[in-house]
Amino acid sequence: MIRVNEHFLKLKAGYLFPEIGRRVSAFAQASPRADIIKLGIGDVTEPLPPAVVAAMHKAVDDMTTVAGFHGYGPEQGYGFLREAIVANDFKSRGADVAADEIFISDGAKCDTGNLQEIFGLDNVVAVTDPVYPVYVDTNVMAGRTGGNDGTGRYAKIVYMPCTADNEFVPELPEEPVDMIYLCYPNNPTGAVAAKEQLTKWVRYAIENKAVILYDAAYEAFIRDDSIPHSIYEIDGARKVAIEFRSFSKTAGFTGVRCAFTVVPKEVVAYTKSGGPQPLHPIWNRRHCTKFNGVSYITQRGAEAVYSPEGKRQNQAIIDLYMSNADVICQSLKRLGYQVYGGKHAPYVWLKTPEGIDSWSFFDVLLKRANVVCTPGAGFGAAGEGYVRLSAFNHPCRVQEAMERIAKL
Ligand code: MLT
């Protein structure tokens, strides 16, 4: 008799964003004249930068010739892209990362979800609360979390509350943990972590023989140079941290698909007998077995993100989204709402009015202002009482959304 993987039955009914999509579609069907403004899922709206488009066109032309044709590429990514990443994202900030420690992939969602496979099932997982749901759900699927307690929390996960009081950066856990998921700039709260805060975490991981899984997908939105873009700006991080990056939000690649993960050669996990085992060859083995690389055309497009004109064009797009974030923050503050984030991240974390839970406020915004947000409860118990507004939309639509909310 074929048996199902019962860990999947422990998951909440649907993944957060499809559930929001379902509710928005139902509303749109019932109110076909409603002009809905989407500030829910963090999906970019501006077209690809011209430098990226030109590089992709050229790569298509390469593929039409015998000399320029590319079949299967290296699973880990082409050297030209890995070298450009090292020079521009790491060396430029004094972070020590080598090109062969970079694994190009088709998305940080897949990488943050897949990487847990290389760790034993008896590791204790620590996540912030609220949290990007992928970290939790993929550990549930693997069988590392125990059962769901009915409030959406899992018995064996250590939740680290992120609240306005701790500026949405968690305290160190009281009990020992092994796999620590951190995301800065943070999805969903928009908070950032300072160098001293990350240094505490790196020290903790070294002392406790833990690993930090650091999601830096939103680093390009940081506007204050003193805030780390990479965990490898912290001394010792190469021993204990794996970092995830993405071209999705930084270069408009949500529909193109390209990201990368950094696995330094020093980072280890331990065998039952206590022997250190480097994770780089293990992730390499997993990656080569289950993944055939990102297309040549896409990687040439990603490489162009680092060209002088690519950088300039991209920065203009990021500035546009961050100016949206500013409009959202200022408008909501003027209306008396409490807002967080939005300064170094494309997300604004909005406290719902007294007595209104996050799904009810989602309904109010959808039905009365025809504006889509993401309910904080979808990111965990500590997200209750908040909603997330994304700055990814055209400036005129963001302005319009704010005017509608002002009329509520
Ligand atoms: C989000 O809105 O949180 C993100 O777009 C989801 C993702 O990147 O998978």
Nearest-angstrom CA–CA distance, 243 and 105: 13
What does the pLDDT look like over 314-372, one tens digit per residue?
Answer: 999 999 999 999 999 999 999 999 999 999 999 999 999 998 999 999 999 999 999 99
Number of domains in the chain: 2
On whether both 290 and 351 belong to a single domain, the answer is: no
Looking at the predicted structure, is the pLDDT value of residue 15 above 90?
Answer: no
CA distance 220 to 227: 11
Domain boundary, last residue among 280, 306, 332? 306
User: Do 43 and 177 lie in a common domain?
Assistant: no
Tell me which residue range forms the domain holding 154.
53-306
User: What per-residue confidence (pLDDT) applies to 150?
Assistant: 80
Distance 66 CA to ligand 1 centre (A): 39
The pLDDT-based confidence of 228 (bands split at 50, 70, 90) is very high
Are residues 264 and 123 both part of a single domain? yes
**Residues 145 and 154 sit within 8 Å (Cβ to Cβ):** yes
Global pTM reads 0.97
Residue 1 in domain:
no
Q: Which of 287, 306, 325 is the last residue of a domain?
A: 306
Is residue 297 domain-shared with residue 334, that is, in the same domain? no
- What share of the chain in percent tops pLDDT 70? 100
* Same structural domain, 278 and 317: no
Residues 97 and 137 both lie in one domain: yes
Residue (of 6, 12, 360) closest to 152 by Cα position: 12
**Cβ proximity of 121 and 138 under 8 Å:** no
Residue to substitute in 128, 137, 187, 219 for testing ligand 1 pocket (most ligand atoms within 8 angstroms of CB): 187
Q: Is residue 279 part of a domain?
A: yes
Q: How far is the CA of 113 from the centre of ligand 1 (A)?
A: 13
Residues 85-121: pLDDT tens digits?
999 999 999 999 999 999 999 999 999 999 999 999 9
Q: How many CA atoms lie within 13 A of 55 on its CB side?
A: 21
What is the pLDDT, as a whole number, of residue 389?
98
* Burial grade of 103 (CB within 10 A; 0-12, 13-18, 19 or more): buried
* H/E run at residue 239: helix 237-240
Residues 293 and 317 in one domain: no
Buried-state track 57-80, b at ≥16 Cβ within 10 A, e below 16: eebeeeeeeeeeeeeebebbbbee
Q: Are 182 and 207 in contact (CB under 8 A)?
A: no
What is the reported pLDDT for 211?
Answer: 98
Residue 288 lies in a domain: yes
44 C-alpha to ligand 1 centroid (Å): 10
- Spell out the residues 6+ positions from residue 229 whose beta carbon is closer than 8 angstroms to its own: 89, 93, 216, 219, 222
Q: Which two tokens stand for residue 188?
A: 């969903």
Same domain, 347 and 375: yes
State which amino acid sits at residue 392: F
CA 249 to chain centre: 9
The pLDDT assigned to 149 comes to 87
Separation between Cα atoms, residue 108 and residue 374, nearest integer Å: 20
